[in-house]
Amino acid sequence: MVDAANFDVTAKGGALAAAAAGRFDALPVYKPEIECASREEIRAVQLAKLKETVAYAYERVPYYREKMDEMGVAPADIQTLDDVCRLPFTDKAVLRDTFPFGLFAVPMNEIRELHSSSGTTGKPVVVGYTEDDMDMWSECIARLVQMAGVVPGDVAQMAFGYGMFTGGFGLHYGLQRLGCAMIPAGSGNTERHIQMIEDYGTTVLVATPSYAMHICEVGEAMGYDWGASPLRVGLFGGEPCPPGLKAEIERRMHIVCTDNYGLTEVMGPGVSGECLAERFQQHIAEDHFLWEVVDPVTGEPVGEGEVGELVLTPLGKQGIPVLRYRTHDLTAVHTEPCACGRTLARMDKVRSRSDDMLIIRGTNVFPSQIEDVLTGIEEVTPHYHIIVRTKGGMDELVVETELRPEAFSDSFESMDALRARIVEKLKSTLLVAPTVRLVEPGGIERAVGKAKHVDDQRVK
Amino acid sequence: MTVSQISVFANSRPGHMSRVLALFEEAGVSVRGFSAADTGEYGILRFVVDRPEAALATLKEAGCACTVTPVLCLKLEDTPGELLRVIGVLARCGINVVYCYSMISTYIVLSVTDTEQARDLLAAEPVEMISQDDIARYIAERDGKEA
């Protein structure tokens, strides 16, 4: 008879061993009264908070009052969760147009912290958090890091940059809430990160997956033995985490890696997180976020479990009560109970955005499809770069992929055969023939922040 | 009897071949012969060196895609018909020569992206540049001496 106590989740590999044995009772849940509540209880909490949130936004934010008056909807019209679709959508443009504080519902003396999005695609978006917002945010993070196998007493090293980015401070506060010791190392200086892991007995690393891979490679080059390292858990964020890359990091660094989902406009990281039962999905903190999945073109809800654009309404957020935020992230949400014991709905990990779809010679292509194909080819690494350009009046899709050192042979014939095989596999998935370039090992840039995979050079 | 040739996968971009050569220098490896062939975007650099194990170890440590291939190495007399004689032995037996290059690299031939600029740059360096006339003159002088 196996006892839950036999699985020591604080030991290296313990959490994955417990998950593999289906013994999720060995993995602690931060707040079981809500994370494992019945669907009816969860929906009741959501409805009560939605009503309050709508009334609060209407009362305090002129933008929402005008918009709702225009649409002929009053806070009292929200009687069921389905009534949410009577409310106006909010997209990034609204936050930009009201920059900096147009959507703030409280005066600055009630704000405890400001954060902003990176502003890579336009003017930055600034968000403010009240004390209660900070409390809620920390709790969301504490839940998801516990889901990933982190326990009180862990020593967590931050490899995100702090600054205005929500990821650094968000994870920092949440890990402290759970009872971890924080090492605020910040990004960069990879050798020092590895030295600190060894010197301070770091058990948890917070990083972008591409930077974690870089730390792994630098450590290997230094002769650091990841198998004997105290490091046990990797918490990833800041950029999408390809399953192939995650699996490779788990194997090479001997750690368990999870990633979470969130966006600055609704809070930051912590909207949803990965448990160890469903590695391709993330549990949504439904008591704090009402989710909808809509058709990205019409805005109408899609069927249960179907893929569409995720729309989020933070529940009870005071600083900025955003209603129905259009994330542009494509996913499907599932509400059946999870093997980990949680009843909170699970969203499929976001692999593509409604706005990062590339249209190549009239065919829709998602970078995630290219990534999936490359992950299945053992001669290349999971690193890739996509260039789209115009050649002879036609769109040309160029995919650069990195050769694994052990896949090289002293023959142009076999290198060309490999390239032809990659072209064929991509073509059968994408229905567009790409040009494939083989790049030297390490030849594709490892980004410290958001990995930029696509370079669209076409003249718009 | 074969020698161990080191082959390296390299992108056809400035600096990639020199990176490999710098690694050899650092490891104290001496290049005795080489060839660089490309497909327009990537190429294979091939080297015959004095210490192949050391060369391979240093390349692997630097994360390069590289491998060792056993190749034949022949010393020819510099007399007319000698190359034909040796290659002819293989041809008569139906053995294909996949690639072939000459060793002891004091005379090297380069094809570059900007020939004129490269010529001007190298003209300013302490290195002797050989013209087509030089090659013809060398043969004429040698034959003259022999006659």
User: How far apart, in whole angstroms, are the C-alpha atoms of residue A424 and residue A316?
Assistant: 51
Residues A87 and A111: beta-carbon distance below 8 Å: no
* Of A210, A206, A154, residue with least CA distance to A185: A206
Residue B72: the pLDDT is 83
Q: Which amino acid is at A143?
A: R
Q: Identify whether residues B64 and B130 lie together within a single domain.
A: no
Residues B14 and B121: beta-carbon distance below 8 Å: no
Residues A61 and A85: beta-carbon distance below 8 Å: no
Of A281-295, A393-407, B30-44, give the range with the top mean pLDDT: A281-295
Residue A132: the pLDDT is 97
Q: Is the pLDDT of residue A254 over 60?
A: yes
Give the closest-approach CA distance of A410 to chain B in angstroms.
Answer: 6
Question: Phi and psi at residue A42, in whole multiples of 5°?
Answer: -60, -45
Q: What angle do CA A108, A60, A264 make, to 5 degrees?
A: 60
CB proximity under 8 Å: A 203-242 to B: 217, 221
Residue A120: the pLDDT is 54
Q: Convert the pLDDT of each residue in B21-59 to its tens digit.
A: 999 999 999 888 888 888 778 889 999 899 999 999 999
User: How far apart, in whole angstroms, are the C-alpha atoms of residue A107 and residue A453?
Assistant: 40
* Of A275, A267, A263, A342, residue with least CA distance to A309: A263
Q: What share of chain A is helix, strand, coil (3-state, %, to 5)?
A: 35, 25, 40
Question: Do residue A440 and residue B46 have CB atoms under 8 angstroms apart?
Answer: no
H-type helices in A6-107, by residue range? 14-20, 32-35, 39-60, 62-71, 92-97
Q: Identify whether residues B128 and B101 lie together within a single domain.
A: no
How would residue B97 be classed by pLDDT, with cut points 50, 70 and 90?
confident
* Of A73, A74, A81, residue with least CA distance to A50: A81
Half-sphere exposure of residue A314, counting CA atoms within 13 Å on the CB side? 26
- Please compute the mean of the pLDDT values over residues B87-101 and round it to a whole number: 80
Does A414 contact B at CB distance below 8 Å?
no
Does A412 contact B at CB distance below 8 Å?
yes
Q: Which amino acid is at B89?
A: V
For chain B, what is the domain count? Answer: 2
Q: Is the pLDDT of residue A1 over 60?
A: no
Q: Identify whether residues B87 and B32 lie together within a single domain.
A: yes
Q: What is the ipTM of this complex?
A: 0.71
Residue A363: the pLDDT is 80
Helix or strand (DSSP H, E) at B46: strand B42-49
CB proximity under 8 Å: A 18-77 to B: none
Residue B13 lies in domain: 3-109
Give the closest-approach CA distance of A244 to chain B in angstroms.
Answer: 20
Q: What is the CATH number of the domain that holds B101?
A: 3.30.2130.10
Which domains are delineated in chain A?
4-39+129-349 (3.40.50.12780), 358-456 (3.30.300.30)
- Please compute the mean of the pLDDT values over residues A126-135 and round it to a whole number: 97
Cβ contacts of B63 on chain A, cutoff 8 Å? 217, 221, 405, 441-442
Q: Is the pLDDT of residue A2 over 50?
A: no
DSSP code, position B118? H
Paired tokens of A263:
């966006």
Q: What is the mean pLDDT of chain A?
A: 92
A68/A240: higher pLDDT: A68
Q: Is A445 left (phi over 0), alpha (psi -120 to 50) or beta?
A: beta
Does B37 contact A at CB distance below 8 Å?
yes
Half-sphere exposure of residue A227, counting CA atoms within 13 Å on the CB side? 2
The residues near B139 (Cβ < 8 Å, ≥ 6 apart) are: none
Cβ contacts of B7 on chain A, cutoff 8 Å? 408, 410
Q: Convert the pLDDT of each residue in A354-393 to its tens digit.
A: 777 788 888 878 888 888 899 889 999 888 999 999 888 8
User: How far apart, in whole angstroms, are the C-alpha atoms of residue A228 and residue A274?
Assistant: 26
Residues A374 and A436: beta-carbon distance below 8 Å: no
CA end-to-end distance (rounded Å), chain A = 65
H-type helices in A73-226, by residue range? 92-97, 131-147, 166-178, 190-200, 209-222
Q: Identify whether residues B93 and B129 lie together within a single domain.
A: no
Q: Identify whether residues B51 and B120 lie together within a single domain.
A: no
Question: Do residue A408 and residue B67 have CB atoms under 8 angstroms apart?
Answer: yes
- Please compute the mean of the pLDDT values over residues A37-48 and round it to a whole number: 97
Does B142 contact A at CB distance below 8 Å?
no
A394/A146: higher pLDDT: A146
Q: Identify whether residues B103 and B120 lie together within a single domain.
A: no
Q: Convert the pLDDT of each residue in A59-110 to its tens digit.
A: 999 999 999 999 999 999 999 999 999 999 999 889 988 999 999 999 999 9
Does B7 contact A at CB distance below 8 Å?
yes
Question: Do residue A437 and residue B63 have CB atoms under 8 angstroms apart?
Answer: no
Residues A443 and A437: beta-carbon distance below 8 Å: no
Q: Identify whether residues B44 and B91 lie together within a single domain.
A: yes
Q: Is the pLDDT of residue B93 over 50?
A: yes
Residues A420 and A350: beta-carbon distance below 8 Å: no
- Please compute the mean of the pLDDT values over residues B88-104 and round it to a whole number: 80
Sign of the CA dihedral with A202 first, then A204, A206, and A210 last: positive
Q: Identify whether residues B77 and B21 lie together within a single domain.
A: yes
A48/B81: higher pLDDT: A48
The four Cα atoms B104, B108, B111, B115 give a dihedral, to 10 degrees, of 160
Which of A130-144, A203-217, A443-457 is predicted with the least confidence, judged by mean pLDDT? Answer: A443-457
Residue A388: the pLDDT is 93
Q: Is the pLDDT of residue A117 over 90?
A: no
How would residue B135 be classed by pLDDT, with cut points 50, 70 and 90?
confident
Chains A and B form CB pairs within 8 A to the count of 53
Of A45-49, A399-403, B28-32, B82-86, give the range with the top mean pLDDT: A45-49
Whether the ω angle into residue A296 lies within 30 degrees of 0, i.e. cis, is no
Q: Is A244 left (phi over 0), alpha (psi -120 to 50) or beta?
A: alpha
Strand A181-183 with A233-236, pairing = unpaired
Q: Identify whether residues B75 and B105 lie together within a single domain.
A: yes
How would residue B112 be classed by pLDDT, with cut points 50, 70 and 90?
low
Q: Convert the pLDDT of each residue in A164-187 to its tens digit.
A: 989 999 999 999 999 999 999 998
Residue A391: the pLDDT is 86
* Of A456, A439, A431, residue with least CA distance to A373: A431
Q: Is the pLDDT of residue A275 over 80?
A: yes
Q: Identify whether residues B18 and B49 lie together within a single domain.
A: yes
User: How far apart, in whole angstroms, are the C-alpha atoms of residue A258 and residue A256?
Assistant: 7
Q: Identify whether residues B78 and B117 lie together within a single domain.
A: no
Q: Is the pLDDT of residue A313 over 80?
A: yes
B145/A38: higher pLDDT: A38
Residue B71: the pLDDT is 85
CB proximity under 8 Å: B 63-122 to A: 63-67, 69, 98
Q: Is the pLDDT of residue B104 over 90?
A: no
Residue B8: the pLDDT is 95
Residue A365: the pLDDT is 84
Q: Is the pLDDT of residue A450 over 60?
A: no
Paired tokens of A365:
């292509």
Q: Identify whether residues B105 and B115 lie together within a single domain.
A: no
- Please compute the mean of the pLDDT values over residues A334-339 and round it to a whole number: 95
Please give the share of chain A, as a percent, with pLDDT higher than 70: 97
Residue A128: the pLDDT is 97
Q: Which amino acid is at A267?
A: M
